[in-house]
Structure 1
Amino acid sequence: MAGPDEGHHRPLRETLSQLRLRELLSEVQDRVEQIVEGRDRLDGLVDAMLAVTSGLKLDATLTTIVHTAIELIDARYGALGVRGHGHELVEFIYEGIDADASRHIGKLPQGLGVLGALIDDPRPIRLDNIGDHPASVGFPAHHPPMSTFLGVPIRIRDEVFGNLYLTEKNSGQPFSEDDEVLAQALAAAAGIAIDNARLYEQSQRRQAWIEATRDIATELLSGTEPAAVFQVIAEQARRLTESTIAVVAVPAEEDDEDSARELVVVEAASAEPVDIAAFAPIPVGVGIVGEAYARRAPVRTGDLDLAGAGGPAMVLPLRTTETVAGVVITQRSAGGAPFSADDLSMAAAFTDQAALAWQLATTQRRMHELDVLTDRDRIARDLHDHVIQRLFAAGLALQGAVPRIRPADAQRRVEQCVDDLQDVISEIRTAIFDLHSGSSAGSTRLRQRIDAALTQFASDGVRTSASYSGPLSVIEPAIADHAEAVAREAVSNAVRHGNATEISVSVRVDDNLTIEITDNGTGFNGPITESGLANLRLRAEECGGTLSFEESPSGGIVVVWQVPLP
């Protein structure tokens, strides 16, 4: 039978047991809630990792990292600073501050204060009050107030790409150790995502460089003039390097590639119109550009003065196995992003391939020219050995038959045929000389230009003829221009003012260039335009020559324009 004390203590023990049970249940519930919360946060971390690693565009990936970090850590503000080559941030992606507030704040952070501390020592920083940190320098005007801070570095293998910054938890509490662990885990995933995006963009850029190289090689090998392809090279280099301007400079015309003294800009590509004359000659071996050409080595620089404008630039020699055809210079505007080592490597590979294609195309053109010269020699030999000899024999046969021909009218016609054969032989000999000289392009142009001038005035009532003797290929372009103008004006005067119906032009090349225009017009009895003769005389005097005219046997005028040849 229980005593009175035992009955008194039983309710007390039961009460204590119930209290302990409630405490235990409460503790279990807290543990369960922590487990659930931890599981939810782990699920959130997994989702965040999947989100930041899902894209391949670098800019979009950086923005996703900031947004995902804010949601995962439940922060009000977030940012990602990309480190430059020194102690600075070259890019700053943020979320939580609207555009109006950002405009009032002004310049983006440059990596000073607490942000700079994370750059100097890339280890996580967690602060309950930013202002208490020794490196704190405060906030600029119009900046929203911030107290709590969490910063973690983002690494890509051994390289610190940048830092992830979070401030102000939405709950108003400081950042916890768990928040720091989650932020570090997210930063690790972000590093992988950024690396993948950079590799993808790099592969895309390499593909673009390869396609540009292929296009230029196709242009060159399809027969496009090598010099014309320099414009394509400049355009592609500017586009692929995201430059403001790109120029191509080659040795001056009077310089040999192996002993060039200065480079001149021959092509420029820019979004704005560019005057090539504004670019001064570049001395070889002097300055960044001249040294890159002389050493056959590509270089990049943070600042290059190009026609009065500065900015980051690359100098890329157009080098082949034997020589350097010139240099390509690409430049970004002042304050633009500097060129990276990858930029230099890919651009140099492009210019090397373009230079090799240029060399191959140039060699191909020279071989073609050699084939043409060989054909010309063969044609000239055949003309001399076969055609001229047969024409000469025919002329001799006709000339021998002249005394036996009756009546006199037929005799005169045969004599005219003999004279015509002699003129044909003379023209063929001139053509043979031009073929042997290997530079018939200029002479052919002069011959065609004079023939074209005569054709303009030929009609049913006007007969024109032209004969050529001597090597027209030795005539310089400037003198050829004068010669065409003289023939055109003299024929025009004969037709319009002398009423001529027959005009012959004789072009003879020896020590002098002599152009003789004979017509059957009214001669000195008709009107003579002093302005026309003055123009002919002035052209002769400019070339150190003379102009003379006399009456022709047919009653017209013979104009003789003669200038010495160098």
Structure 2
Amino acid sequence: MAIGSDLDLRGVLTRIVEASCQLTDAEYGVLGIVDDDGAFVDLVPNGAVAETFQEIGRMPLGEGLIGLVPQERRTIRVDRVGEHPVSSGSFPDGHPPIDSFLGAPVLVRNQAFGHLFLGNKRGGAEFTPTDEALVEALAGAAGAMIDNARTFEAVEWRRRWLAGTAEVGGDLSGTVRVQEALDELVVSLRVMCGARRVAYVRVDGELLEIRQLAGKDDGAARVLERLGDTIRHVTSSRVPERLPEKHGRATLVVPVHTRLAGSGVIIVDRAHETPSLQGVMLDLVTVTATQLGLILDRDQALRDRAQLLVAKDRDRIARDLHDLVIQRLFATGMQLQSARSLDIDELRDRVDSTISDLDLAIKELRAAIFELGTGTGRPLLDDVRSLLAEYVRVLGFQPVLRVQGPVDRALVPATGAHVLTTLREALSNVARHARAGSVVVELTASSAWFRLRVSDDGVGFDPATAPRGNGTANLRARAEGLGGHLELSSAPGQGTQLEWIIPAVG
């Protein structure tokens, strides 16, 4: 009854261990939780050894009597541990010595959830058949209680997930709001899953582009490199994959389906997965990927609509040029042609009228040219992706692209050309000098600044002794000419990082 009074899974497990020790008068007790392969992933000790187990800091290897219980899937009682044939006779440093032993499997729906181990009956006595029967009964009842607690944990996790994502995507007016919504989505997902990092990665052929990232930046490129084949397989098959890791962790790679915004995946790196959340977590991450895909499609539809409006506006300007300017120039030419036979006074009036018409035509031409000149043209991101694809053969590998903020709308086309020139120079320097195995290109746009960062894992150099070339000087002069600055950091054996920062204009 005491065990069944708690629906929190950890609380249920703790009560099982404490009740087992009290009923059998055992000095030490621990419940070892196992994964699908039978490896220990967590330990729930009683109060007497809780601090000791934290100091040991590692899971049991499943050897000796610890491994005999899961191997035979039955209760095992040993009066003298040191004399048992499978006993190793040694314990980890800091582990209390065990003389008598009682172990039983804890099964949930005939599957091993964990194993209950008790040691050293108080007073130096031996565990009795009654103790063995008590532990067997307790383990059987505990299985049902654990099943209930796991169901409650899954339901509670769903409730928290719904609460955490309910408001995301409500108001998506403007590109900046879309970026904020996507950032909120991956941050919420990382918190819910207890993951090291969560990223939305856009897949464009061989190019992997990090669009949103929650968690530490360092190591994100290595995760993409490690999961590259899995990411492309998930993108093509549209089937999510779960990659189990040690200590109750798993990495989830889930496809993001879109109709307009291109292919992509959500990566949940090293999610904390309890047994009750294995299927639930993957399902809800898949639902989150669907939500993210809808947000991306809506944003892309708005972008396509804006480009369509620009195209329609250019058609209107072309019609205006033909109907107004060209026709006005044609009429002016006809007036001049017919002025040959006029007397001097009428000719003077005709010339004055023609000059006025020409001035008006010039104003209309200037207005049309200005409107055409403010068109968006090709997006900066498309040019950056093409440039990275061009450098794959030069570098020998595919650089990783990371984008933050409204990059396509932060700069006017003329300034975007400076960004491409700077990126080309930076990649050329990496190819010539760095001997790198990976490169991360980051584009970050805010309302005030635009930043291009190029990081490599190459040999690096000492900035104090390295000769200064014309390339770096040109990049610095280009940034300063636009009101920005260049920052270059490196150290021998630690790679190089270039940051080119200019004011956002556009």
TM range (shorter): 0.5 to 0.7
Conserved in 2, the CA contact under 8 Å of 1:58 and 1:201?
yes
Q: What is the alpha-carbon distance in structure 2 between the residues aligned to residue 127 and residue 166 of structure 1?
A: 11
Q: CA deviation at 1:114?
A: 1.6
Is 1:345 paired with 2:297?
no
Conserved in 2, the CA contact under 8 Å of 1:92 and 1:109?
no
Q: What is the alpha-carbon distance in structure 1 between the residues aligned to residue 264 and residue 176 of structure 2?
A: 18
Given the two structures, how large is their TM-score scaled by the length of structure 2?
Answer: 0.60
Matches within 5 A, 1:41-190: 49=1, 51-98=2-49, 101-102=52-53, 107-140=58-91, 141-170=93-122, 172-190=124-142
Partner amino acid, structure 2, of 1:203: V
**Kindly tell me: are residues 478 and 356 of structure 1, through their superposed partners in 2, closer, same or farther at Cα, counting changes over 3 Å?**
closer
Q: Please, which runs of 5 or more residues in structure 1 have no aligned partner?
A: 1-48, 253-259, 305-310, 444-474, 483-538, 540-566
Q: What is the alpha-carbon distance in structure 1 between the residues aligned to residue 224 and residue 130 of structure 2?
A: 64
Counterpart of 2:144 in 1: which secondary structure? helix
Partner amino acid, structure 2, of 1:207: R
Give per-residue Cα distances to partners, 1:28-70, cap 9 Å, x unaligned: xxxxxxxxxxxxxxxxxxxxx2x22222322232222212222
Q: CA deviation at 1:122?
A: 1.9
Q: CA deviation at 1:162?
A: 0.9
Counterpart of 1:126 in 2: which secondary structure? strand
Identity %: 30
Counterpart of 1:267 in 2: which secondary structure? strand
Partner amino acid, structure 2, of 1:190: A
Q: CA deviation at 1:81?
A: 1.0
**Kindly tell me: are residues 280 and 55 of structure 1, through their superposed partners in 2, closer, same or farther at Cα, counting changes over 3 Å?**
closer
Greater relative contact order (CA < 8 Å, ≥ 6 in sequence)? 2
Q: What is the alpha-carbon distance in structure 1 between the residues aligned to residue 223 and residue 49 of structure 2?
A: 48
Counterpart of 1:202 in 2: which secondary structure? helix
Q: CA deviation at 1:161?
A: 0.8
Q: CA deviation at 1:350?
A: 1.8
Matches within 5 A, 1:492-511: none
Which residue matches 2:294? 356
Q: CA deviation at 1:216?
A: 4.4
Q: CA deviation at 1:119?
A: 0.8
RMSD of aligned residue pairs (Cα, Å): 4.8
Conserved in 1, the CA contact under 8 Å of 2:261 and 2:297?
no
Conserved in 1, the CA contact under 8 Å of 2:79 and 2:101?
yes
Q: What is the alpha-carbon distance in structure 2 between the residues aligned to residue 92 and residue 275 of structure 1?
A: 29
**Kindly tell me: are residues 195 and 350 of structure 1, through their superposed partners in 2, closer, same or farther at Cα, counting changes over 3 Å?**
same
Partner amino acid, structure 1, of 2:364: I
Q: What is the alpha-carbon distance in structure 2 between the residues aligned to residue 153 and residue 248 of structure 1?
A: 41
**Kindly tell me: are residues 393 and 418 of structure 1, through their superposed partners in 2, closer, same or farther at Cα, counting changes over 3 Å?**
same
Which residue matches 1:513? none
Partner amino acid, structure 1, of 2:9: L
Given the two structures, how large is their TM-score scaled by the length of structure 1?
Answer: 0.54
**Kindly tell me: are residues 98 and 164 of structure 1, through their superposed partners in 2, closer, same or farther at Cα, counting changes over 3 Å?**
closer
Is 1:288 paired with 2:220?
no
Q: What is the alpha-carbon distance in structure 1 between the residues aligned to residue 198 and residue 81 of structure 2?
A: 47
Conserved in 1, the CA contact under 8 Å of 2:260 and 2:301?
no
Q: CA deviation at 1:249?
A: 2.6
* Correspondent of 2:414 among 465, 477, 486: 477
* Correspondent of 2:187 among 226, 235, 260: 235
Give per-residue Cα distances to partners, 1:171-223, cap 9 Å, x unaligned: 54433333333323332332233222222222233234445554443365765
Q: What is the alpha-carbon distance in structure 2 between the residues aligned to residue 90 and residue 184 of structure 1?
A: 23
Partner amino acid, structure 1, of 2:143: G
Q: What is the alpha-carbon distance in structure 2 between the residues aligned to residue 104 and residue 216 of structure 1?
A: 42
Q: What is the alpha-carbon distance in structure 2 between the residues aligned to residue 112 and residue 87 of structure 1?
A: 12
Q: What is the alpha-carbon distance in structure 1 between the residues aligned to residue 273 and residue 115 of structure 2?
A: 22
Matches within 5 A, 1:379-394: none
Matches within 5 A, 1:84-483: 84-98=35-49, 101-102=52-53, 107-140=58-91, 141-170=93-122, 172-211=124-163, 213-218=165-170, 220=172, 224=176, 231-252=183-204, 260=205, 262-267=206-211, 269=213, 271-274=215-218, 278=221, 287-302=229-244, 312-320=250-258, 325-332=263-270, 340-367=278-305, 369-371=307-309, 373-374=311-312, 377=315, 418=357, 420-430=359-369, 434=372, 440-441=375-376, 477=414
Conserved in 2, the CA contact under 8 Å of 1:314 and 1:329?
yes
Give per-residue Cα distances to partners, 1:328-360, cap 9 Å, x unaligned: 223239x99999444333322321332233224
Tell me how many residue pairs correspond in the alignment. 381
Partner amino acid, structure 2, of 1:330: V
Q: Please, which runs of 5 or more residues in structure 2 have no aligned partner?
A: 379-411, 420-477, 479-506
